[in-house]
């Protein structure tokens, strides 16, 4: 059997299975890659919010990373929840030595507004983590946290991208999904490297079950890059995958359900 492309997520665990490394690993399998993971934190989480969180020691993060990278090797990496400045700096240091595409999802708060990143870690994200990124994928809340820019329309997305690119990633993918209703009739994202500009549009689905959207998009992007796509190709494919997963998102628990990672799979049994 041919070895599938190898993709690594460096992120937190969501016990409910809809976000975090759970979303990443499911996405990677659904897109035909071999998913691996470096756990940075473990959360007790469900459709209603985050009930508890336990950080892994930096030493455990380093050991997991070395076990994967030195023996197995990776063709793309995605980072998600890195809750403390120490973990952000540890991961940035590990990534600086790699020569493969890195997708940085600068996770700040959960879908329910629970903080997933210590305030003191923001500066480490700006100065240490974002410079390692091939693509950074902030949503509008994360743009505001990182740059102070409050985006309210598509022109604002262009300004936000320029400010994010100033921190050093090769590409910025600004996710406009949180634009005020009326500001856009579709879910629009802007991908740019400061020269090229790609507007990614998809129908906005009337479905509240969107838990894990950000993790899923970033890990789909990493999976496509591992398969050899260019960044614009990977972003288009990832947007397509996540749009279908949102449309198929399902009820789970009393609150916000997850996107459906298996929406495009058929069991050939």
Known active-site residue 111 = no
Known active-site residue 213 = yes
Q: Which residues contact 60 (CB under 8 A, 6 or more apart)?
A: 39
Site mask, a second copy, residues 223-252, x = CB under 8 A? ------------------------xxxxxx
- Of residues 191 through 220, those in contact with a second copy by CB under 8 A are 209
Please list the residues that pair with 109 across neighbouring strands.
115
CA dist 223 → 35, 36, 98, 191, 238 (Å)? 9, 11, 16, 17, 9
Q: Which of 237, 182, 179, 205 is nearest to 30 (CA)?
A: 237
Candidate list 11, 26, 106, 218; residue touching a second copy; CB under 8 A: 26
Q: Tokens at residue 167, please?
A: 């921190």
- State yes or no: residue 182 binds a second copy (CB under 8 A): no
- State yes or no: residue 67 binds a second copy (CB under 8 A): yes
- State yes or no: residue 155 binds a second copy (CB under 8 A): no
- State yes or no: residue 32 binds a second copy (CB under 8 A): yes
Contacting range for a second copy; rule: CB under 8 A; set: 30-38, 94-102, 131-139, 175-183? 30-38
CA 107/CA 109 separation, integer angstroms: 6
Least Cβ distance, residue 150 to a second copy (angstroms): 33
- State yes or no: residue 117 binds a second copy (CB under 8 A): no
Candidate list 73, 115, 120, 180; residue touching a second copy; CB under 8 A: 73
Candidate list 60, 114, 166, 180; residue touching a second copy; CB under 8 A: 60
- State yes or no: residue 168 binds a second copy (CB under 8 A): no
Candidate list 5, 45, 88, 220; residue touching a second copy; CB under 8 A: 45
Least Cβ distance, residue 133 to a second copy (angstroms): 22
Give the distance between the most distant pair of CA atoms in the chain: 51
- Say whether 15 sits in a helix, a strand or coil: coil
- Tell me the three-class secondary structure of 203-236, residue by residue: ECCCCCCCECHHHHHHHHHHHHHHCCCCHHHHHH
């Amino acid at each position: 059997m041919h070895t599938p492309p190898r993709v690594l997520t460096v992120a937190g665990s969501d016990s409910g299975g809809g976000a975090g490394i759970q979303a990443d690993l499911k996405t990677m399998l659904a897109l035909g890659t071999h998913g691996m993971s470096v756990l940075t934190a473990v959360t007790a989480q469900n459709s209603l919010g985050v009930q508890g969180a336990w950080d892994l020691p930096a030493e455990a993060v380093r050991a997991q990373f070395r076990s994967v990278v030195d023996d197995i090797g990776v063709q793309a990496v995605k980072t998600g929840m890195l809750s403390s400045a120490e973990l952000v700096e540890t991961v940035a240091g590990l990534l600086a030595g790699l020569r493969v595409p890195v997708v940085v999802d600068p996770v700040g708060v959960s879908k329910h507004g629970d903080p997933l990143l210590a305030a003191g870690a923001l500066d480490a994200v700006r100065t240490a983590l974002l410079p390692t990124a091939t693509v950074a994928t902030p949503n509008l809340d994360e743009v505001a946290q990182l740059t102070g820019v409050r985006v309210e329309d598509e022109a604002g997305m262009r300004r936000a991208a320029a400010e994010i690119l100033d921190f050093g990633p090769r590409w910025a993918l600004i996710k406009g999904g949180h634009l005020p209703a009326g500001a856009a009739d579709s879910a629009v994202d802007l991908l740019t490297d400061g020269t090229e500009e790609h507007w990614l549009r998809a129908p906005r689905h009337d479905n509240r079950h969107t838990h894990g959207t950000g993790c899923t998009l970033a890990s789909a992007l990493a999976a496509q890059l591992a398969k050899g796509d260019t960044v614009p190709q990977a972003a288009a494919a990832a947007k397509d995958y996540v749009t279908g997963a949102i449309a198929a998102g399902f009820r789970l628990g009393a609150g916000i359900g997850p996107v459906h990672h298996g929406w495009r799979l058929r069991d050939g049994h």
